[in-house]
Amino acid sequence: MTDQVRTRIDGPIGRITLTRPKPIHALTLEMVEAMSEALLAWRGDDAVRAVMIEHEPGTRGFCAGGDVALVRDSALTDGGKAGRAFFHAEYRLNHLLFTYPKPTVAFMDGITMGGGVGISQPCKFRVATENTKFAMPEGAIGLFPDVGAGWYLPRLPGATGKFLALTGARLDGAECLWAGLATHYLPSDALGDIKARLVAGETVFEVLGKDAGERPEARIAGNAVKIDRLFNPDTLEGIIAALEADESEWAAKELDAVRAKCPTTGVVALRQFAENAACETFADNMRMEYRVASRMMLRHDFAEGVRAVLLDKTNDPVWDPARPADVHPALIDAIFAEDPDGGEWTPFPG
């Protein structure tokens, strides 16, 4: 039991409500395990027709990520044992949602980043609002875009996935809809009625089957041609060179964003795109990501990034290596190698 998430059956709906508001519902191991336990119990319960994932009303966002402070402490004190346990459980939850046999709907109202992406993107229905702020910001803390990002990002339009992985750009709700990260866009003040109708017995298809009407213009659409051209190269150095050669203010801003991120993270993210092409299933992708997470969390860059961004808040991480050119291919090969400490990742049975 945990007071950080509430799971219950409400009418025909299995309802998961995140209730850890101060850190914007960042996922802990206890939360992940409680969510998985409920989903497994509801999977074969005919009384549960669908599942919704939401956050406590009146709080700042859906989910800001995972408990990276715990993972950092584990890397520094127990060789990563507790960190690996967290990633193993979190990735099992991500996979369980991806393969869930009943309709699932995530209400991405507010901040939806990192671990919040991991519990929303596997859902069949993903509702964004005017409050949505979507991002994969792991490059700023020396980790990598995980929780299934290696599967989702390569499937976005054009080079959008590379752009998000390397810049940590934040998308609003309309941009999420344009990119396919959201399936629906609704005003936040309509969510209460939507949820009430689901609990009253209307199906998800009835409630969300119709277009909600007008929505703001997706700003990213205006930059799509530039994104596809400048983020098309397969290497981090190639993308940086393309941005350097472009004289627009937009390219200069995105160049600064890419350069500020951990170089090893950028190289790992692009390798993810290549490796995912050989992943036949989502489970294959999560197995790959677990190998990477097991190694990345033990590196200097992760401890340093969390220190600079989240603990000291000085935003002055010193990356090692500091330049993309110095990220040796042998290092990347070792990060992606099979059989990490603690063994390979496995999904829930069934």
- Catalytic residue, chosen from 54, 146, 289, 301, is 146
Per-residue pLDDT 10s for the chain (350 aa) are: 689 999 999 999 999 999 999 999 999 999 999 999 999 999 999 999 999 999 999 888 999 999 999 999 999 999 999 999 999 999 999 999 999 999 999 999 999 999 999 999 999 999 999 999 999 999 999 999 999 999 999 999 999 999 999 999 999 999 999 999 999 999 999 999 999 999 999 999 999 976 555 788 999 999 999 999 999 999 999 999 999 999 999 999 999 999 999 999 999 999 999 999 999 999 999 999 999 999 999 999 999 999 999 999 999 999 999 999 999 999 999 999 999 999 999 999 98
Secondary structure of 167-236 as H, E, C letters: HCCCECHHHHHHHCCCCEECCHHHHHHHHHHHHHCCCHHHHHCCCCCCCCCCHHHHHHHHHHHHCCCCCH
Q: Is 115 a catalytic residue?
A: yes
- Catalytic residue, chosen from 65, 66, 110, 305, is 66
Q: Which domains does the chain have, with CATH numbers?
A: 5-336 (3.90.226.10)
Please give the model's pTM, rounded to 2 decimal places: 0.97
Amino acid at 62: F
- Catalytic residue, chosen from 83, 115, 139, 173, is 115
